[in-house]
Amino acid sequence: MSGTALQLASPVDGIRLTLHVLAAAVWVGGQVTMLGLTGPAKTLGVDAPRTLARAFNKLAWPAYGVLFLTGMWNLAALHSESMGEGSGMQVDASTSWNAVFGIKMVMFLLAGVAAFLHTRATSKTQLAIWGSVSGTASLVALALGVFVAG
Ligand code: HEM
């Protein structure tokens, strides 16, 4: 039997993707967790859901910033992947890769804008609409991220 052995990611690639996935876990997983916790939290007191939401906000926005910064790092790393040390050859993205990546960027921006409007909501309807738009856009961005990673 002949074949190519599976190769590990380089240490720098490992750190880059770990930070990106960790930030995605906090931003996306946190929203899913809040969805499950805010209802039951009402039994702890009328202010409990708000207290939880404010605490989550302090974790979520730094994670959103880390997603952007490590996302730019991902792009730079993918575009400078060379065909060997020092060859300087550029890797081109396919049309479908560019399209999916573009949709991912729209979802990223929509998730952020909707999350911001969710924090500024003045009615339960606004809270529900912006919360679900942000959650859905975040989940789509996560799935598209897996596809662009290939
Ligand atoms: C809601 C925001 C985001 C989420 C949830 C998210 C999630 C993910 C996930 C889960 C992966 C797959 C990692 C893997 O399988 O190894 C990924 C890859 C990637 N993401 Fe994001 N991401 C987000 C925002 C961004 C932003 C803002 C950018 C660019 C500025 C970006 C650029 C990339 C690139 C280029 C890859 C491929 C990395 C590679 O193959 O080395 N992401 N993302």
Gap between the Cα atoms of 67 and 108, Å rounded: 9
Gap between the Cα atoms of 50 and 48, Å rounded: 5
Q: Transcribe 27-84 into DSSP letters.
A: IIIHHHHHHHHHHHHGGG-TTHHHHHHHHHHHHHHHHHHHHHHHHHHHHHHHHT--SS
Instruction: Give the residue with greater pLDDT, 90 vs 53.
Output: 53
Q: Choose the residue to mutate in 15, 28, 32, 74 for probing ligand 1, maximizing ligand atoms within 8 Å of C-beta.
A: 74
150: confidence class by pLDDT, cuts 50, 70, 90 = confident
| Residue whose CA is at the smallest distance from ligand 1 atom 40 | 149
pTM, rounded to two decimals: 0.92
| Residue whose CA is at the smallest distance from ligand 1 atom 32 | 71
Please compute the mean of the pLDDT values over residues 121-126 and round it to a whole number.
97
> What ranges do the domains of the chain cover?
12-80+95-149
Q: Transcribe 72-141 into DSSP letters.
A: HHHHHHHHT--SSTT--PPPPPPHHHHHHHHHHHHHHHHHHHHHHHHHT--SHHHHHHHHHHHHHHHHHH
CA of 21 to the centre of ligand 1 (A): 7
Please compute the mean of the pLDDT values over residues 110-115 and round it to a whole number.
98
Gap between the Cα atoms of 61 and 55, Å rounded: 11
| Residue whose CA is at the smallest distance from ligand 1 atom 21 | 145
CA of 90 to the centre of ligand 1 (A): 20
For 22, half-sphere exposure in the C-beta direction (CA atoms, 13 angstrom radius) is 11
Q: Choose the residue to mutate in 15, 21, 75, 148 for probing ligand 1, maximizing ligand atoms within 8 Å of C-beta.
A: 148
Please compute the mean of the pLDDT values over residues 133-137 and round it to a whole number.
98
Regarding the beta carbon of 12 and ligand 1, being less than 6 Å apart is answered: no
CA of 122 to the centre of ligand 1 (A): 32
88: confidence class by pLDDT, cuts 50, 70, 90 = low
